[in-house]
Amino acid sequence: MSLILLITNYIGIIAFSIAGSMKAIEKKMDLLGVLTLGFSTSLAGGILADLLLGITPPTNLIYIPYPTVSFVASLLTFAFYKRFSHVNKPLIYADALGLGAFTASGASLAFGVKPEPLLVIMVGTITAVGGGVLRDILANEIPLVLTKEFYASAAIIGSASYYGLAEIGLQTGFLTTLILLLTFGLRLLAIEMKWKLPNAA
Amino acid sequence: MSLILLITNYIGIIAFSIAGSMKAIEKKMDLLGVLTLGFSTSLAGGILADLLLGITPPTNLIYIPYPTVSFVASLLTFAFYKRFSHVNKPLIYADALGLGAFTASGASLAFGVKPEPLLVIMVGTITAVGGGVLRDILANEIPLVLTKEFYASAAIIGSASYYGLAEIGLQTGFLTTLILLLTFGLRLLAIEMKWKLPNAA
Amino acid sequence: MSLILLITNYIGIIAFSIAGSMKAIEKKMDLLGVLTLGFSTSLAGGILADLLLGITPPTNLIYIPYPTVSFVASLLTFAFYKRFSHVNKPLIYADALGLGAFTASGASLAFGVKPEPLLVIMVGTITAVGGGVLRDILANEIPLVLTKEFYASAAIIGSASYYGLAEIGLQTGFLTTLILLLTFGLRLLAIEMKWKLPNAA
């Protein structure tokens, strides 16, 4: 894994864990709920992706650094909740970086297992947003990504681009970085321009 | 796959995708939510069935025609929402055909992997109604099949009959068609006769 | 499997099925919903654990005695609902025994597949509480284990102890019994002392 992908993966895990923990606190869950929602938001998407690809046991349950970082981020959110609720702006950028990193990691993993277009798009997107969907289900809410904002769409475009560019032979290390930046950039643009998908009138 | 099973599978995908899309629109989801709920309702049951049987990556993420039909059906529902809400009657019959086709496909797949009675019943039923359960979870509602109507029950009877008749040696092609028609017929009867399961008083 | 683990597994299946069925009745589900929530609460945790470990088809869909006991327990709950709602006290103890048995079974299974600490803790805990989480999702509620009481925490401590003691070489049969009793004891203590985890103020 390239250094930039590794670093942005950790940034994503931290940002997603904080988002999950804050949702848990908002829903009056206890410490276990906070750790669980932090873990789910940051790592359950990757676990589901592994299951779909037949990778068992899932990497996120074996490789310790990722869950450790998630638990520490959730514990800190739990301890310093009020302070975290004021740092919205940097969190949005960290979240967008994580979206890019997770999309690139997931798409790359799927392409390595079986280079099929829909599989690459689905696994890339699920790696990036599946954890957030589970967080919202556990919080008894309609998943945010299904209702508003241009968020999962960035992951879909990123994953689809990964497939297309991998098919024409781009080198994996360069390609994952490119897709990371493309997805990140799309998400930032979406925030800046307030893009959203249409609703049925 | 026999021609009748193939055709009814597509009818089922279309009917289930429309049902999922309409639920998404009703819940004020955006276009992505509409596509996701259409896909989940029609194809997530088969994906879960594949995971339970150890078939990875799941067929519905590899074989492109099924998801393509789902996306087109969801897009058309999104575009012509108001018109679709008036065609309730034909949709109910298409849905019942899909229930039959999915039950027969799922039971047949499970029997081929491992001819165990509970497995065949569970996988047949999950293939048929699992997507609808996921749709309702994503829409933040109690799954409809758990509360009323004789719907999953038709899939359970169909799958159980598949197991019994396959054990006594009926030929697969004929048997899947028979189970398709049996499940379809049971569901139609249930609608006609307003069957429902008992509640605890 | 040791006799004590076998017996407590059945006690757990009965207690969990009753809890699931009562939730279904409370939510006005029909007979199918009652059977489904009883099955999910008692056996879906083990199914998810199997999927994470790559054991397909899952044991709980192949080995018939477990689901049979679950269905019978759910049917009896359905038939004698009012009487069951008065036997709260014994049910709590049966539930605590089940928590211990499921934790020990899950941790032991995971350790046998791959002796990794997080995997053993997660699979032990998911085997014990995953079914209850699914029950609450299907009932459209926030999972109880995420909000209050010292419940999943007992499973986490039990699973972690399993890993530690298995690593230093304790014999499996003795160890599963020990972890069963430890988890059961912790849960009883938690009820007696009204332990709960902290909330973010």
* Chain segment A123-148, per-residue pLDDT in tens: 999 999 999 999 999 999 999 999 98
pLDDT > 70? residue B3: yes
Chain A neighbours (≥3 Cβ pairs under 8 A) are: B, C
Distance between CA atoms of A126 and A155, rounded to whole angstroms? Answer: 9
Q: What is the pLDDT of residues B103-114, one digit of tens each?
A: 999 999 999 999
In this prediction, residue B194 carries a pLDDT of 93
In this prediction, residue A145 carries a pLDDT of 93
CB-nearest to B146 from C36, C62, C67 is: C36
Three-state SS at A177:
helix
In this prediction, residue B148 carries a pLDDT of 81
Among candidate residues A185, A35, A163, the one with its CA nearest the CA of residue A101: A185
Determine the residue of chain B that is closest to A196 in CA distance.
B30
CB distance A138–C141 less than 8 Å?
no
CA dihedral C107, C113, C115, C116 (to 10 degrees): -80
In this prediction, residue A16 carries a pLDDT of 96
CB-nearest to B56 from A54, A146, A200 is: A54
Distances (CA, A) of B141 to A112, B24, B96, B144, C31: 37, 12, 22, 8, 19
Distance between CA atoms of A17 and A73, rounded to whole angstroms? Answer: 6
**Mutate which: A36, A43, A56, vs C, most C CBs within 10 A:** A56
Query: Could you tell me which residues of chain A have a Cβ less than 8 Å from any Cβ in chain B?
Result: 51-54, 110, 113-114, 116-119, 122-123, 133, 137, 140-143, 145-148, 152-153, 156, 196-201
Q: Which residues pair with A199 in a beta bridge?
A: B30
Q: Which residues of chain A have pLDDT under 50?
A: none
In this prediction, residue A64 carries a pLDDT of 95
Q: Which residues pair with A175 in a beta bridge?
A: none
Query: Could you tell me which residues of chain C have a Cβ less than 8 Å from any Cβ in chain B?
Result: 24-25, 27-34, 36-37, 47, 51, 54, 56-58, 61-62, 64, 67, 78, 81, 137-140
Residues of C in contact with A32 (CB under 8 A): 145-146, 152-153, 156, 197
Cα dihedral across residues C183, C186, C191, C196: positive or negative: negative
In this prediction, residue A149 carries a pLDDT of 85
Q: Could you identify the residue written with the tokens 């089922």?
A: B12
CB neighbour list of residue A49: distance below 8 Å, 6 or more residues apart:
A106, A109, A110, A123, A126, A127, A130
Distance between CA atoms of C58 and C54, rounded to whole angstroms? Answer: 9
Q: What is the pLDDT of residues C102-153, one digit of tens each?
A: 999 999 999 999 999 999 999 999 999 999 999 999 999 999 999 988 999 9
Determine the residue of chain C that is closest to B136 in CA distance.
C138
Residues of B in contact with A52 (CB under 8 A): 47, 51, 56-58, 61
Determine the residue of chain C that is closest to A79 in CA distance.
C200
pLDDT (mean) for B110-136: 97
In this prediction, residue C135 carries a pLDDT of 96
Q: What is the mean pLDDT of chain C?
A: 94
CB distance B139–A142 less than 8 Å?
yes
Three-state SS at C184:
helix
pLDDT > 90? residue B65: yes
For B199, phi then psi, to 5°, come to -105, 155
pLDDT > 90? residue B25: yes
Determine the residue of chain B that is closest to A150 in CA distance.
B32
CA C81 from centroid of its chain's CA atoms = 22
C122: amino acid identity, one letter: M
In this prediction, residue C201 carries a pLDDT of 67
The percentage of chain B sitting over the pLDDT mark of 70, rounded to a whole number, equals 99
In this prediction, residue A88 carries a pLDDT of 75
Determine the residue of chain C that is closest to B54 in CA distance.
C56
CB distance B140–A141 less than 8 Å?
yes
In this prediction, residue B55 carries a pLDDT of 97
**Mutate which: A30, A34, A77, vs C, most C CBs within 10 A:** A30
CB distance C113–A67 less than 8 Å?
no
Distance between CA atoms of A68 and A72, rounded to whole angstroms? Answer: 6
Q: Which residues pair with C199 in a beta bridge?
A: A30
Provide the shortest C-alpha distance from residue B200 to chain C (in Å): 6
Q: Could you identify the residue written with the tokens 């954890």?
A: A131
In this prediction, residue A87 carries a pLDDT of 72
CB distance C32–B145 less than 8 Å?
yes
Residues of C in contact with B148 (CB under 8 A): 30
Provide the shortest C-alpha distance from residue A111 to chain B (in Å): 12
pLDDT > 90? residue C37: yes
Q: What is the pLDDT of residues C39-61, one digit of tens each?
A: 999 999 999 999 999 999 999 99
- Give the pLDDT band (50/70/90) at residue B89: confident
CB distance A31–C147 less than 8 Å?
no
In this prediction, residue A32 carries a pLDDT of 96
Chain C neighbours (≥3 Cβ pairs under 8 A) are: A, B
Tokens of B42: 């029609």
pLDDT > 70? residue B201: no
Provide the shortest C-alpha distance from residue A114 to chain C (in Å): 19
For residue A90, cis peptide bond before it (omega within 30 degrees of 0)? no
Determine the residue of chain A that is closest to C118 in CA distance.
A61
In this prediction, residue A201 carries a pLDDT of 67
* Geometric angle at alpha carbon B96, from B92 and B102, rounded to 5°: 140
pLDDT > 70? residue C15: yes
Long-range contacts of B24-29 (CB under 8 A, 24+ apart): B24/A146, B24/B139, B25/A199, B25/A200, B25/B77, B25/B78, B25/B81, B26/B139, B27/A142, B27/A147, B27/B139, B27/B140, B28/A147, B28/A199, B29/A142, B29/A146, B29/A147, B29/A199
Provide the shortest C-alpha distance from residue B106 to chain C (in Å): 14
pTM: 0.96
CA dihedral A44, C106, B143, B11 (to 10 degrees): 80
pLDDT (mean) for C71-91: 87
CB distance B53–C51 less than 8 Å?
no
Tokens of B51: 């995971």
In this prediction, residue B83 carries a pLDDT of 80
CA C127 from centroid of its chain's CA atoms = 6
pLDDT > 70? residue B131: yes
CB distance A140–C145 less than 8 Å?
no
Q: What is the pLDDT of residues B143-176, one digit of tens each?
A: 999 998 899 999 999 999 999 999 999 999 999 9
CB distance C118–A37 less than 8 Å?
no
Among candidate residues B32, B33, B54, B35, the one with its CA nearest the CA of residue B43: B35
CB-nearest to B52 from C36, C57, C67 is: C57
Q: Which residues pair with C30 in a beta bridge?
A: B199
Query: How many CB pairs below 8 A link B and C?
Result: 76
CB-nearest to A52 from B25, B56, B139 is: B56
Distance between CA atoms of A189 and A183, rounded to whole angstroms? Answer: 10
pLDDT (mean) for C170-199: 95
CB distance C30–B117 less than 8 Å?
no
Per-position DSSP letters for C89-158, written without gaps between them: HHHHHHHHHHHHHHHHHHHHHHHHH---HHHHHHHHHHHHHHHHHHHHHHTTS--GGGTSSSSHHHHHHH
In this prediction, residue A48 carries a pLDDT of 98
CA dihedral B133, A133, A5, A2 (to 10 degrees): -20
Distance between CA atoms of B170 and B176, rounded to whole angstroms? Answer: 10
Provide the shortest C-alpha distance from residue C143 to chain A (in Å): 7
- What one-character DSSP code corresponds to residue A199? B
pLDDT > 90? residue C86: no
CB-nearest to B57 from A113, A117, A133 is: A113
